[in-house]
Amino acid sequence: MATTQATRYITVEDREIGLDPEGFVVDMTAWTPAVAEALAAEEGRELTPEHWEVLEVLRAFYARYENAPAMRPLVKAVSQALGPDKGRSLHLMRLFPDSPAKVGARLAGLPKPTNCL
C-alpha cells in the first residue's frame, strides 16, 4: 500500500508517531516495540508474550514478502513458526479480537493488508 498522510499523532518515548486515518503507522521505520504498546493501550489491549510472538511472525512475513498477510496466510505463517496449536484462527481471534490480520498488522507497524476486506 502506498504510504498515506498522517492524520493524527501519538507520542511515544518523546517521539511523534504519525498514524493514518485507520490507525496504521505511516512511516514503518518509526515503529518500535514501544509504539506497539502505545497503540495497544489506546485500544485497551494488553500485549502478552503470546501477542508478541505473533507480532514477530507478522514482521517476519512482511520482511520476506513485502506484504502484510490476510487471515488465511497469517494462520499458515503462525502455524509454521509457532506450531499447529497456535496456528489456528481461534487462537488468533482470541489474541486480536475483531480482525486478527488487520489489528495485528497495525500493532506490528505494517501497512494494512491489501487483500483483507
Partner 1 sequence: MSEITEVPHGDLLVMLRHAPHGGLWLREALDLALVGAAFGQSVSLLLMGDGVWALLQGQGPGPLGQKGSHSTFEMLEMYDIERLYIDSDSLEERGLIRDDLLLPVIEVPTSELSTVLAGHRQIFNF
CB of 91 to partner 1, least distance (A): 18
Which residue has cell 486515518? Answer: 21
Q: Which H helix or E strand runs over 87?
A: none
Contact 68, 113 (CB under 8 A): yes
Q: Report how far residue 83's alpha carbon sits from residue 74's, in angstroms, rounded to the nearest whole number.
A: 13
Q: Which H helix or E strand runs over 66?
A: none
**All cell numbers assigned to 49:** 508474550
CB of 115 to partner 1, least distance (A): 4
CB of 38 to partner 1, least distance (A): 28
Q: Candidates 6-14, 22-30, 61-69, 88-96 — which segment interacts with partner 1 by CB under 8 A?
A: 61-69
Q: Candidates 5-13, 37-45, 73-81, 102-110 — which segment interacts with partner 1 by CB under 8 A?
A: 73-81
**Nearest to partner 1 of 69, 104 (CB atom):** 69
